[in-house]
Amino acid sequence: MKNIKRFLSGICVCSLLTSLTGCYDLEQLPHDSVVIDFNDSQKAYETMVGVYQALNGSSVYNGFYALESATDLGWSYNGWWPAYDKYNISMGIANASYGGFSETWSGLYEGISRANNMIANMGKSNLDESIRIQYIAESRFIRGLLYSNLLNYFGGVPIYDETFTGDASEMLNPRNTAEEVREFVLNDLTFAIENLPKTRSSVGQASQGAAYALRGKVYLYNKEYEKAKADFLQVVNGGYGYTLHSSYADLFRPSGYENGADDCNEIIFAVEHMGGSSTPYGLHVQFLGNRASYGGCINANVASQELVAMYDCIDGKPYNRDDFFKGISDEDLYQSQFDENGQKVVSYPPAVDKLKAMYEQRDPRMAATVILPYTTYKGWVYNAAADCEMVLSNDGVYHSNEGNGYVRNAFNHDAYLWRKFVQEYDWGSQIADRGNSPVNWPIIRYADVLLMLAECYNQTNDQNNAVIYINQVRSRVGMPGLNSGPAWLASNSQDEVFERIKHERAVEFALEGLRFFDLRRWGELVKKTNGMKETDIMGKLIGGTKTIDEKYNLWPIPQSEIDLNDKLIQNTGW
């Protein structure tokens, strides 16, 4: 907690290309220290931007994708970057001193500190009342979001609101209960609902619709289904203009690049990012990209075999290898013969055309999420665009490389590499280094609301309405509706529909960081994850075994915080 009262270091100054209440366009002018006059509209505006900018902190939302490796959907290769990979957690070797826990705790409290500072000073400012109330409402939305994340990670945590004015040495409150934290969050979000503008000026600005969506999520996580349903129905029917975007893949590409739609009407709330080497406001995707990506990325995170197998066939049937490849070996599907220098393919696998044909018969979200063998990835090699092929070698050595036109894993494994969010070429000149991608990070999408609403209907025994909302999400990618054709539900029972919701959330939101919390709240984190063995595309063991146990349902209070405040009681098992 020593960081909670840090004095707004790194506040960004925003461009006044828009009005004071317009979108928060970030400039590239961070300040190491600031003396703020909250009666000055420009300074107040800049400080409000600083509150939003806290969401971009590492282990807050920058690196949120790394949570996938602590689930059944992904893997991390090592524990070198706690904010951007979760290897220590997934392998069950983390302890209370692990940096991934302390970075998350301090990053979230840093954002809360900024929000508290804004709320307290806007209450005393002589600016126009409408501006003051809007800034307070935006800050309370962000504070509610950050405290809800703390609740989801750690359970009950100390609550510090805008009345706290002490320095770090006075941050000695004991933990509040989970119920108290949840009530605090709900109060913040209710205030936001009552005082925020109905719609956003930009994808990164809090709005009434976003506040309803987030409050509904808090209710859902607490199994208050009727209250959650009411909030989600408000999002759907309240005239906010949210829609499912026509292209799933384009949601994860930046606006301005081809058909990039990371600011479209499906995105209810997101962290806005900028590219370029001179700004710290980009999304760090170098831990997702591959050696053919801009800057030669590290890909500390990869997709799992289990995820790829989850994607159904386009007729709605579950994927079964024998339906496509009965009698065909993995070698004949995947292994290419390279020349004697290991630089160029001299012969492709005999059954490679069958492999490619199979891709066309699968849920399109699979190809939009992972780079599949013998498909093309838009790389950036030797400072130029390069179409690179994902090829597996016949000798088990990943010796093909981007210079020869192939996708390369930084760790020399034939693994499924992520495609979602990963740079294509140079994002149309919007990127200047691998650490600052311009693609926005979606915190709440309309598809998420629809599937959460379906869950609420199902858990209140209304399977017919639940299926309606599931089918809206499936229809966007051309998947058949449940209760039609081969996708017919056998009984439409509550349990059966619930399993379909779980499946749909896994394939729709892969790599968006939601799976960890979904599995935890469903009581399935250990069941789905513990004992997983890391294998390559052909099933060869290439890593270790996940050993997540029940204690990981709540992360530990960081030992560094307990050392500072002995009133903090540790979570069970840590």
Per-residue model confidence (pLDDT) at position 277:
60
User: Alpha-carbon Rg of the chain, whole angstroms?
Assistant: 24
Q: Which two three-digit tokens encode residue 20?
A: 């004071």
User: Are 304 and 415 a contacting pair, CB within 8 Å?
Assistant: no
* pLDDT bucket at 80, cuts 50 / 70 / 90: confident
> Rounded to an integer, what distance in angstroms lies between the CA atom of residue 381 and that of residue 314?
35
Q: Among candidates 263, 283, 264, 265, which has minimal Cα distance to 273? A: 283
**What is 439-473 written as a DSSP string?**
--EEEEEHHHHHHHHHHHHHHTT-HHHHHHHHHHH
* 397 has a pLDDT exceeding 80: no
Place of tokens 């070996």: 329
Per-residue model confidence (pLDDT) at position 394:
74
* 18 has a pLDDT exceeding 50: no
318 residue type, one letter: P
> Rounded to an integer, what distance in angstroms lies between the CA atom of residue 554 and that of residue 151?
9
pLDDT (mean) for 441-468: 97
* 43 has a pLDDT exceeding 90: yes
Query: What value does the mean pLDDT of the chain take?
Result: 90
User: Are 411 and 77 a contacting pair, CB within 8 Å?
Assistant: yes
* 17 has a pLDDT exceeding 60: no
pLDDT tens-digit profile of 322-331?
999 999 999 9
pLDDT tens-digit profile of 346-371?
999 999 999 999 999 999 999 999 99
Instruction: Output the CA torsion 486→489→490→491 (10° steps).
Output: -160
> Rounded to an integer, what distance in angstroms lies between the CA atom of residue 550 and that of residue 531?
13
Per-residue model confidence (pLDDT) at position 278:
54
User: Are 488 and 482 a contacting pair, CB within 8 Å?
Assistant: yes
Q: Where is 534: in which H helix or E strand?
A: strand 533-535
Q: Among candidates 319, 309, 393, 402, which has minimal Cα distance to 349? A: 393
Among left, alpha and beta (phi > 0; psi -120 to 50; other), residue 520 is alpha
Place of tokens 């079964």: 320
> What is the 8-class DSSP label of residue 533?
E
User: Are 182 and 194 a contacting pair, CB within 8 Å?
Assistant: no
* pLDDT bucket at 11, cuts 50 / 70 / 90: very low
* pLDDT bucket at 8, cuts 50 / 70 / 90: very low
**What is 26-55 written as a DSSP string?**
B-S--BS-----TTSHHHHHHHHHHHHHGG
Residues in the chain: 574
pLDDT tens-digit profile of 179-231?
999 999 999 999 999 999 998 888 899 999 999 999 999 999 999 999 999 99
Share of the chain above pLDDT 90, in %: 80
* HSE-CB for 540 with a 13 A CA cutoff: 14
Instruction: Output the CA torsion 274→280→281→283 (10° steps).
Output: 80
195 residue type, one letter: N
Burial of 385 (0-12, 13-18, 19+ CB in 10 A): exposed
> Rounded to an integer, what distance in angstroms lies between the CA atom of residue 146 and that of residue 108?
6
For 24-33, 161-170, 352-361, which range has the lowest pLDDT when averaged over its residues? 24-33
Per-residue model confidence (pLDDT) at position 507:
98
Name, of 71-80, 156-165, 465-474, 536-545, the range with top average pLDDT: 465-474
* pLDDT bucket at 395, cuts 50 / 70 / 90: low
pLDDT (mean) for 125-145: 97
pLDDT (mean) for 79-90: 90
* Domains of the chain: residue spans and CATH: 41-196+556-564 (1.25.40.890), 301-439 (no CATH)
Q: Where is 384: in which H helix or E strand?
A: strand 384-389
* 113 has a pLDDT exceeding 50: yes
The alpha-helical segments, DSSP class H, found in 377-514 are: 446-459, 463-476, 494-508
User: Are 74 and 307 a contacting pair, CB within 8 Å?
Assistant: yes
> Rounded to an integer, what distance in angstroms lies between the CA atom of residue 532 and that of residue 510?
17
> Rounded to an integer, what distance in angstroms lies between the CA atom of residue 425 and that of residue 293?
7
Share of the chain above pLDDT 70, in %: 91
